[in-house]
């Protein structure tokens, strides 16, 4: 079944991409890199991902070969992982970071486009929830297996195993038949899911860029990540300073708990979004941001950290399902789903980058608790902006049946 293949594809892609998480700085530090050089290498990947968002979206919209794009991105990620693990020298590592940054964007957009083509619109929220469920499980399982390989075998084995996860990802991608993707019109009337020859009039790039709903969503997403991105890194740094060796274990659970909650809740979020609309659930997820930041500001203990990360699970489930679903609603009649998703990804990248820099600067100048107060204020602002400017985008039942 295409749906089950899509689920397993998301799981193994997440397993593979976990190799480019915290394991890269560990590998480079073990190879004698100083923190400044490690920071530069990681920045290369971030910059590449930012620059790739919109062009990759335009390319994904223009082609029917989304399976081929996804396969190329998986192979590129496997190559990048092997470069970091096998040749930890500046030029190969910088190249690998850039390659993975671009490949990660292309892979995310290609899988989103495939999902759109394989799913009825009234089931799209639940399908996106299942994608997120398997990706979250993949992240949790991948982190555990890679961490075990690194501690029991060697640093190199982490990257060999991460690259190996790409093979089952390619297998399950191949099991999604091209004909299933091309028969999208039997399931959805979303213009972006139809083959170019059958789409009719697609809105221009200028029209998309001037869509007030998309601009409102981008503003909300930017503010969301401006508040959210720096929270766990700040909390982890505080734990390391105040609780010593136990910090690593607490941080591991602080990563795993939201992933497990996201995996459990995501399909439910998708179903409820179809029944009750997108805005109420998005507001719930956004409202967790200031609460979580204030919990960190009041008490940075391990117990409070884990309790705050429970809220992060709620936020991750709502955000991860509903943002692409809102993008699908906005682009339903005009097409350009992937370009719009790339624009939202650009807002995500900018918000996350500024968040870490600004929160780190405030923490250095006035202390970590004040940095969390700053993040709470931004989270409250994000929630208010969402409530004030983002309209409900859910279409009325029957309004967008296939062939409409």
pLDDT at 391 over 60: yes
Q: Indicate whether 337 belongs to any domain.
A: yes
pLDDT band at 138 (very low <50, low <70, confident <90, very high): confident
Q: Where do the H-state alpha helices sit in 244-301?
A: 246-276, 279-298
**Average pLDDT of the residues in 202-219:** 88
Q: What is the CATH number of the domain that holds 213?
A: 1.20.1250.20
CA–CA distance from 282 to each of 48, 163, 240, 287 (Å)? 29, 35, 33, 8
Averaged confidence pLDDT in the chain: 84
More confident residue, 217 or 395: 217
Statement: residue 75 has pLDDT above 80: yes
**151 shares its domain with 35:** yes
Retrieve residue 375's tokens: 């993040």
Residues 168 and 257 in one domain: no
Q: Which structural domain, as residue segments, surrounds residue 117?
A: 1-198
One domain for residues 213 and 330:
yes
Rg from Cα positions in the chain: 21
| 206, 313: one domain | yes
Does pLDDT of 383 surpass 60? yes
Contact 255, 143 (CB under 8 A): yes
81 pLDDT above the threshold of 80? yes
Question: 343 and 205, same structural domain?
Answer: yes
Q: Give tens-digit pLDDT for 215-225.
A: 999 999 999 99
Q: Which of 260, 324, 264 is nearest to 125 (CA)?
A: 324
Query: What is the pLDDT at residue 401?
Result: 41
Residue 302 lies in a domain: yes
Three-point CA angle 126, 277, 267, nearest 5°: 20
> What are 51's two structure tokens?
């620059």
pLDDT in tens, 164-201: 999 999 999 999 887 766 666 656 667 767 666 555 67
Pair (291, 383) in one structural domain: yes
Each residue of 229-245: b (16+ CB within 10 Å) or e? bbbbebbbbbbeeebee
Domain boundary among 146, 172, 198: 198
Helix (H) / strand (E) containing 139:
helix 124-152
- CB 112 within 8 Å of CB 104: no
pLDDT tens-digit series, residues 281-323: 999 999 999 999 999 888 878 888 888 889 988 999 999 999 9
Last residue of a domain, one of 165, 198, 231: 198
Q: Are residues 193 and 206 in the same domain?
A: no
For 215-269, how does the pLDDT look when each residue is reduced to its tens digit (9 = 90+)?
999 999 999 999 998 888 888 777 767 766 666 667 778 778 888 888 888 989 9
Cα–Cα–Cα angle for 7, 133, 274, nearest 5°? 95
Q: What is the pLDDT of residue 4?
A: 82
| 84 and 37 inside one domain | yes
Does residue 176 sit in the same domain as residue 232? Answer: no
Q: Is residue 400 part of a domain?
A: no
Total domains, the chain: 2
Please say if the pLDDT value at position 25 is more than 70.
Answer: yes
| Residue position matching structure tokens 């719009």 | 340
Q: Is residue 75 part of a domain?
A: yes
192 and 225 part of one domain = no
Q: In terms of domains, do 129 and 57 share one?
A: yes
User: pLDDT-based confidence at 20, cuts 50/70/90?
Assistant: confident
Helices (H) and strands (E) in the chain, counts: 17, 0
- 357 and 275 belong to one structural domain: yes
């Amino acid at each position: 079944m295409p749906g089950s293949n899509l689920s397993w594809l998301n799981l193994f892609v997440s397993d593979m991409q976990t190799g480019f998480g915290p394991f890269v700085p560990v590998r480079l530090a073990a190879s004698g890199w100083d923190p400044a050089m490690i920071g530069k290498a990681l920045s290369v990947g971030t910059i590449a991902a930012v620059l790739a968002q919109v062009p990759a979206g335009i390319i994904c919209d223009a082609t029917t070969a989304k399976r081929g794009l996804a396969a190329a991105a998986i192979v590129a990620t496997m190559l990048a992982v092997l470069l970091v693990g096998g040749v930890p020298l500046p030029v190969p590592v910088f190249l690998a970071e850039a390659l993975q940054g671009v490949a990660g964007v292309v892979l995310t957009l290609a899988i989103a486009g495939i999902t759109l083509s394989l799913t009825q619109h009234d089931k799209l929220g639940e399908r996106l929830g299942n994608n997120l469920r398997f990706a979250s499980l993949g992240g949790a399982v991948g982190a555990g297996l890679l961490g075990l390989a690194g501690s029991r075998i060697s640093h190199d084995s982490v990257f060999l195993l991460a690259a190996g996860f790409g093979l089952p990802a390619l297998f399950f991608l191949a099991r999604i038949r091209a004909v299933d993707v091309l028969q999208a019109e039997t399931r959805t009337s979303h213009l972006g899911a139809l083959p170019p020859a059958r789409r009719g009039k697609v809105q221009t790039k200028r029209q998309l860029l001037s869509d007030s709903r998309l601009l409102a969503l981008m503003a909300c997403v930017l503010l969301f990540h401006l508040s959210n991105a720096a929270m766990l890194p700040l909390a982890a740094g505080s734990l390391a300073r105040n609780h010593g060796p136990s910090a690593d274990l607490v941080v591991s659970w602080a990563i795993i708990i939201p992933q497990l909650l996201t995996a459990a809740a995501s399909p439910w979020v998708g179903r409820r979004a179809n029944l009750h609309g997108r805005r109420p659930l998005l507001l719930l997820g956004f409202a967790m941001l200031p609460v979580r930041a204030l919990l960190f500001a009041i008490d940075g203990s391990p117990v409070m950290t884990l309790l705050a990360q429970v809220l992060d699970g709620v936020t991750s489930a709502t955000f991860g399902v509903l943002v692409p679903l809102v993008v699908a609603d906005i682009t339903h009649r005009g097409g350009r789903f992937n370009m719009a998703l790339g624009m939202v990804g650009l807002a995500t990248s900018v918000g996350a980058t500024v968040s870490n820099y600004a929160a780190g600067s405030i923490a250095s100048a006035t202390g970590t608790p004040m940095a969390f107060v700053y993040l709470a204020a931004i989270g409250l602002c994000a929630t208010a902006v969402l409530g004030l400017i983002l309209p409900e985008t859910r279409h009325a039942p029957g309004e967008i049946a296939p062939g409409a």
